[in-house]
Chains A and B, each alone.
Chain A
Amino acid sequence: MSLLSVRGLTVSFPTSDGVVRAVRGLTFDVEPGQTLGIVGETGSGKSVTALSLLGLNPGADISGSAVFEGRDLLTMRPDEIRRVRGAEIAMIFQDPLSSLHPYYRVGWQIVEAIRTHTQVSRDRAMRQAVELLRLVSIPQPERRVQAFPHELSGGMRQRAMIAMALALRPKLLIADEPTTALDATVQAQLMELLGGMQRELGMAMIVITHDLGLVATVADRVLVMYAGRGAESADYRTIFRSPHHPYTRGLLASIPGAAGSGGRLIPIVGQPPSLIRIPSGCAFHPRCPFAMDVCIREQPPFAPVNDGEAHASACWLPPDAVGVGPSADATRERYVKSRQGPAVSRLRDARSPRSGGDVAYV
């Protein structure tokens, strides 16, 4: 049984400019002890998803379900979710400076986290805090518990966040861009630390990132998000070796050094859409090299690519007819040719070769 099972998660925010539809019917599962990588660009809804699970999105309209160990997180009362948050599902954020309280010492904040969920004495909690800091390889932990967040380096702050998150041995850790603000060598330290912790605690992780390198390194399964929906989901090998969705393919081809890229980069034209005015049909159609008439009209279902549900993709290209992976390009071109009407041609004409079809031209 899945540890966390999210079905049809929909999150929108009413704003003065219109309704921001940040997440639109997202479905995924997290298995115990596994790492799910959620990949997406700015505005794909990946962080909103995480915050919604923990009830940290006040003011949002949320529907769907997120069942964690038999209980739906989305329908919990505030006091119920508060007991889950931190103790059973912990979260670490991208920017550890703004997620630690600047006014309180690091040790105090860890003690507070421990004492919120368990009845231990202040002294004992402080001793635990010291041990936790030692565990995340912070030198001189006895002194560092007395430090304020601004006195620590970026890497150390993130380690203090990890220490706090792990204090209560959560079953699920949500890491939202855990290493984005950090240097490569520190990133490697932290991911090794998290990996070690995960093995020891048997904890499941959701790693939210835009960094495909990080996903390639740590994820068991990968969910690619685009404009608030799941574009493709599969085990990590399949995502990198035989992706089906043109967006996944595009991401891989546009990264130097990625599997399937070589020589000149092939960028995805245009840019991610505004979540207030999401394109009709498949939200990716204005940027898709294989757009067909149907893509402009109808939203593709998130459906299994092959037999079995392990690999799913939301695209109108039938996998059995056009195949998956980079080798399928020619077949795909032939397939879509007969299915492109004047609407698609207009879309094509609007893209300038050099601008990569930036909206300036549309």
Chain B
Amino acid sequence: MSPTSDPGQPPPPAAIDQPPPDAPRPVETLLGIENVVKHFPIKRGIFFKRQIGSVQAVEGVSLEVRRGETLGLVGETGCGKSTLARCITRLHPLTSGRIVFDGVDLSDLSPRQMRPYRRRMQMIFQDPYGSLNPRRRVGSIIGDPLTIHGVAEGPERKRRVQELMEIVGLNPEHYNRFPSEFSGGQRQRIGVARALALRPSLVVCDEPVSALDVSVQAQIINLLEDLQGEFGLTYVFIAHDLAVVEHVSDRVAVMYLGKVVELAETAELFGSPRHPYTAALLSASMIADPEKARSAHRVVLYGDVPSPINPPSGCRFHTRCPKAQPICSVEEPPLEVKPGDPAGHVAACHFPVQPGETLVGATPAFSEALSSLAVTSPEAGRESAG
């Protein structure tokens, strides 16, 4: 695929602090997320700021990401998926819990100790406009990681950057251009090249294609898939577009209000969701296929996602759940394998959706409501205005 030289580059100079070599203990799990909690304090007061509450963005998430796989992370706005991504890469300090990367606990490393690991986990961001410094040239945007980590300098750095540009499908001659001279899709390629510059093992993709046009999305998805094969990358892939997640992921975790409510192999999750929220989310997504889209039974959830400042008791979904029972508001269901499910399929629900079961949401009666509403007809308006 790569038009130029062998992507396997020579190892970086030994001068800088090396990450511990992969060799001694090859673990199946590349990344362990253990009981991660992230709260953002809310403060009030001018001089003596006291904490009056906290946004419970991520509340006890445990996941493991296997080497070479793509773990999809889905959920709606405010479910904590982006916060979790930033916790994984330690852009946010954790409130509690552990991030174990390749067998090493990263959660309380100093920034200096963290450095060698930063090289091995990179991020691709959603907004290809906001995530690239508009005043820097592409060459330095992609090359900065190489300088910062002391990997390459001068002509060697330029050679590497141009090679990366080639790998992601950019013209290496555009080394000296500014981000504004590129389209959205090309900018996202720049972001991908920057993420790849240090040969990471893990790439956290936070909505990498959401900001792109439909016809360009597929280019980036294919690129990410190719690169995964070429460089043996492991992806954590966050998106709200379920079709995209289904397409790229090996396993998918569904989040709701800071918690993982269901996790399974992709086909298993999309084929037989057990958590009512997963079922509702899947049924709400509009498939670009008229027969499927129109025959689908939609579980329409009413209301909005509750505030993460004061989340509901018990199961956090109980306020909107079509199957909720009294126990759901009291006792939080554990994330566990439900009877009849394969080992890797876990769901956190007291009353999991049974195969073949259809969930029913309430539908407001439009006709009654409308007829009771005495709306003046626009004709009257025209007459009065004329």
Instruction: Give me the interface of A with B, judged by CB distance under 8 Å.
Output: 41-42, 83, 87-88, 114, 117-120, 128, 131-132, 134-135, 137, 139, 153-156, 167-170, 183-189, 191-192, 196-197, 199-201, 210-217, 236-237, 240-241, 250-259, 264-269, 271-272, 287, 352-356, 358-361
Contact = CB atoms under 8 A, between A and B. Distances in A.
Nearest to A179: B286
B139 to A, nearest CB: 14
B interface secondary structure, majority: helix
Contacts of B286: 184, 187-188, 191, 211, 213-214, 216-217
A256 B281 contact: no
B289 A185 contact: no
B238 to A, nearest CB: 14
Interface in B242-286: 242-244, 246-248, 280-281, 283-286
A256 B300 contact: no
A267 B384 contact: no
B302 A216 contact: no
Nearest to A362: B171
B109 interface: no
B373 to A, nearest CB: 5
A213 to B, nearest CB: 3
Contact of A266 (B218, B247, B373): B218
| Most central of B213, B246, B281, B369 by chain A CB within 10 Å | B213
Interface in B360-386: 363-364, 366-367, 369-370, 372-378, 380-382, 384-385
Contacts, number: 230
A240 B219 CA distance: 21
Nearest to B298: A188
Contacts of B293: 213, 216-217
Nearest to B171: A360
A255 B217 CA distance: 8
Interface stretch (B96-104, B182-190, B199-207, B330-338): B182-190
B327 interface: no
Given A213-B243, A250-B215, A169 B378 contact: yes
A269 B76 CA distance: 31
Nearest to A192: B300
A216 B244 CA distance: 17
Given A120-B376, A183-B305, A187-B284, 13 more contacts: A188-B284, A200-B366, A200-B370, A201-B370, A211-B288, A255-B214, A258-B287, A271-B184, A271-B215, A354-B167, A355-B170, A358-B189, A360-B171
B381 A196 contact: no
Given A256-B243, A267-B218, A183 B77 contact: yes
A200 B369 CA distance: 10
A254 B216 CA distance: 8
A240 B300 CA distance: 25
B4 to A, nearest CB: 11
Contact of B247 (A137, A168, A257): A257
Which size bracket describes the interface of B in this complex?
Answer: 35 or more
8 contacts: A117-B385, A118-B384, A132-B375, A139-B303, A168-B378, A168-B381, A213-B285, A236-B290
A254 B375 contact: no
Nearest to A256: B247
B366 A199 contact: yes
B381 A358 contact: no
Nearest to B280: A185
| Most central of A156, A183, A184, A215 by chain B CB within 10 Å | A184
B301 interface: yes
B170 A184 contact: no
B304 interface: yes
B244 A256 contact: yes
Q: Which 3 pairs show the lowest CB-CB distances between chains A and B?
A: A213-B286, A355-B169, A256-B247
A88 B378 contact: yes
Nearest to A39: B214
A184 B285 contact: yes
B96 to A, nearest CB: 28
Interface string B153-188: 000000000000001111100100000001111100
B76 A131 contact: no
Contact of A240 (B214, B288, B373, B377): B288
A192 B298 contact: yes
Nearest to A211: B286
Given A187-B286, A257-B247, A87 B302 contact: no
Nearest to A355: B169
Given A88-B378, A197-B366, A256-B244, A271 B289 contact: no
Given A185-B281, A187-B284, A251 B373 contact: no
B223 to A, nearest CB: 7
Given A200-B370, A264-B222, A359-B183, A41 B381 contact: no
Contact of A251 (B214, B240, B285, B370): B214
A359 to B, nearest CB: 7
A118 B376 CA distance: 7
Given A168-B378, A358-B169, A259 B246 contact: no
B49 interface: no
Interface in B293-312: 293-294, 298, 300-305
Contacts of B167: 354
B221 interface: yes
A88 B167 CA distance: 54
A241 B221 CA distance: 24
B215 A272 contact: yes
B290 A267 contact: no
A135 B246 contact: no
